[in-house]
Amino acid sequence: MQSFYAIYRKEMGHYFVSPVAYIFIGVFLFLSAWFFDNYLGLAIEQALRMEMQGMQFGMPPDIDLPARVMGAFFGVLAFLVLFFTPILTMGVYAEERKRGTMELLMTSPVTETQIVLAKFLASFSLFVLMLLPTASYLVFMFLHSDPVPPWRLLLAGYAGVLLLGGSLLALGTFISSLTENQLVAGVLTFAAFLLLWVLDIGNSGGGSLGIGALLGYLSIIGHYEDFTRGVIDTSALIYYFSFMVLFIFLTVRSIDSMRWRRA
Amino acid sequence: MIEVENLTKTYGDKTAVDHVSFTVNKGEILGFLGPNGAGKTTTMRILTGFMPATSGTARIAGFDVATDSMDVRRHIGYLPETPPVYPDMTIESYLDFVARIKNVPAARRATSVTDAMRKTNLEDRRSELIKRLSRGYKQRVGIAQALVHDPDVIILDEPTVGLDPKQIIEVRNLIKGLAGTHTIILSTHILPEVSMTCDRVVIINKGKIAAVDTPQNLTSQLKSGQKVRLEVQAPADALKSALAQVSGVSRVQVEQLPSSAHSIVTVETAQGADIRSDIAAKITGSGWPLFELRGVSLSLEDIFLELTTDDATHAQPSVN
């Protein structure tokens, strides 16, 4: 446990002594805030237009503004996560191998599982730190809405982003453990993310086909959309948790196999 | 303390370590000597549990490196070829991190870190970032890292690489000071290092052990065939043929000095015979002025070259 905490602390320190974490969080917050502002502006404009139309035709306006903004915002959040997480994970093992510090970790009384979990948890912590401030945008919107939408929607949305992010981080750290080159790890991770993303297209194209349905189920974004509508689906939970466990397990195996590979 | 038996490591069809066996007693310093690529690093990596052997066994402090890896790792400190440091950490926080992952109890951690810094003369730079340190300082941080948890066995892969002469002496003294309470294996391709610091030497070449002995024994072993060095004012060819006639001479090598008429001659003699006076008589008898004549004994360097090169004639004599 002591070693686990030591590695976790070292990883967090590594993010925060260099400008990495600050730039990362700063850019992410700026972009997400910009998108949120845009969506909110658009939605309000649309709502006003609909209200005027409603007055003309004598019908009450029927628009759930917070739900619209949230749907769009969580969509773009997922998109930002897709771009940001490869940067977060590409160096996790690649750098350690290049510097030769992997040799220190692997000859210390620490298990591979401890190393992998500590590193995964550190990258996940940074991810949470990056994501948390964005909740303030939505909280403000909720407080100024009338009637106030159920908070469950907000929680479900963030549960979705966290699960999506955790899964991508698990996959990203696994890819990082395969190579000594950070850039290669980053590019491969991004390619893998995109592939998981577009699997959904197969589904929407020929939904009735068995393969299309299967691809749709494997798509990492398909399960996410339920969360953004406030639905927590058990099958989505199972999907994301098994995704994380699978890639954490594969990372442990990959680290272990380094001993057999020519270092 | 360390028992290695028939250790073999192959990469594909290349054999890096070939049936290596040796033992190291408690408190001893064992030198691993060999040219680059001889299998020193691979052997050390197997001992530390970083990579498994293809076959054979190694035991450290009674624990098998393959099956009781965690116990082995608790008993060793290891300096790899490149010091395993994190550039963004300060020396002190780095050593604290290493102490934590080596399971040093929290109560003893601060003193362990300070002790390791004191032994390696890093105290005055404790809060400096490692990336700002010179190669020599990084190397010392690497050594400090191997000592911080006070392990029974210390394995150092080329500990003096990148250090200046003063630092080399300091590190050698540090290593000698650790012997007795710690068992040490160090690898090097620098010969004087071995004769100065090690109790015993393993000479390894192309994955195989060429010799295991004390530095003194290795030196005396090959003294049997003597060498004599001469400086004579004489034409090279005539000198060579004249000396070849002296009984007991096995080989003559003549080198004409470019600046004068002097020749430098190296005469190798058969075992046991002392023919220095015969050589002197031959030269003065031929009427050549003799400027110098002295016996030369083989140094560790010669032994090393003799054992590690296929063609022993490359061995150049050096003067003791």
**Over the stretch B50-73, which tens digit does the pLDDT of each residue have?**
888 889 999 999 899 989 989 999
* Probe site for chain B from A107, A255, A258 (most B CB atoms < 10 A): A107
Cβ–Cβ of B100/A3 closer than 8 Å?
A: yes
- Output the pLDDT for position B260: 74
What is the nearest CA distance from B65 to chain A, expressed in angstroms? Answer: 11
CB atoms within 10 A of CB B297: 15
The stretch B272-284 carries a mean pLDDT of 79
- The pTM assigned to this predicted structure is 0.81
Assigned domain for B34 exists = yes
DSSP string, chain A: -HHHHHHHHHHHHHHHHSTHHHHHHHHHHHHHHHHHHHHHHHHHHHHHHHHHHHHHHT------HHHHHHHHHHHHHHHHHHHHHHHHHTTTTHHHHHHTHHHHHHTSS--HHHHHHHHHHHHHHHHHHHHHHHHHHHHHHHHTSSSPPPHHHHHHHHHHHHHHHHHHHHHHHHHHTT-S-HHHHHHHHHHHHHHHHHHHHHHHHSTTSHHHHHHHHH-TTHHHHHHHTT---HHHHHHHHHHHHHHHHHHHHHHHHTTTS--
pLDDT of amino acid B178:
86
- CATH number of the domain at B171, please: 3.40.50.300
pLDDT at B293: 86
- CA–CA separation, B98 and A119 (whole Å): 16
Residue B290, pLDDT > 50, answer: yes
B205 and B280 in a single domain? The answer is no
Comparing B271 with A198, the larger pLDDT belongs to: A198
B11 vs A: CB within 8 A: yes
Phi/psi for A194 (5° steps) reads: -60, -40
Domain that holds residue B10: 2-215
The ipTM of this complex is 0.84
B167 and B262 assigned to the same domain: no
CB contact B89 to A (< 8 Å): yes
CA distance B199 to chain A (A): 26
Query: Which of A3, A95, A104 best probes binding to B when mutated, by most B CB atoms within 10 angstroms?
Result: A104
How do residues B203-248 score in pLDDT, each as one tens digit? 888 888 888 888 777 766 655 556 788 888 888 888 888 888 887 7
Q: In the structure, what pLDDT confidence band is assigned to residue B318 with cuts at 50, 70 and 90? A: very low
Mean pLDDT of all residues in A195-206: 67
- pLDDT tens figures, A19-39: 888 998 999 999 999 999 999
B235 plus B194 within the same structural domain = no
Contact B95, B117 (CB under 8 A): yes
Closest among B27, B61, B25, B20 to B44, alpha carbons compared: B20
Average pLDDT rounded to a whole number, residues A190-207:
73
Averaged pLDDT for residues B101-107: 92
The reply to whether B235 touches chain A by the CB within 8 Å rule is no
Chain B residue with minimum CA distance to A4: B101
Place of tokens 């116990």: B71
Instruction: Assess if residue B127 is contained within a domain.
Output: yes
Dig out the tokens for B153 from the structure: 């066995």
Q: What is the pLDDT of residue A228?
A: 81
Please check whether residues B32 and B148 belong to one and the same domain.
yes
CATH number at residue B253: 3.30.70.100
Bond preceding residue B215 cis, omega within 30 of 0: no
Question: Quick one: pLDDT at residue B320?
Answer: 39
pLDDT band at B186 (very low <50, low <70, confident <90, very high): very high
* In a domain? residue B23: yes
Per CB-CB distance under 8 Å, the chain A contacts of B80 are 100, 103-104
What is the pLDDT at residue B313?
Answer: 43
Partners of A262 on chain B (C-beta within 8 Å) are: 11
What are the boundaries of each domain within chain A?
A: 2-257
Give the C-alpha separation, B20 to B45, whole Å: 14
Same-domain status, B99 and B66: yes
Q: What is the pLDDT of residue A212?
A: 67
Residue B189 pLDDT grade (very low, low, confident, very high; cuts 50, 70, 90):
confident
Return the beta strands (E) in B136-225 as ranges.
153-157, 183-188, 200-205, 208-213
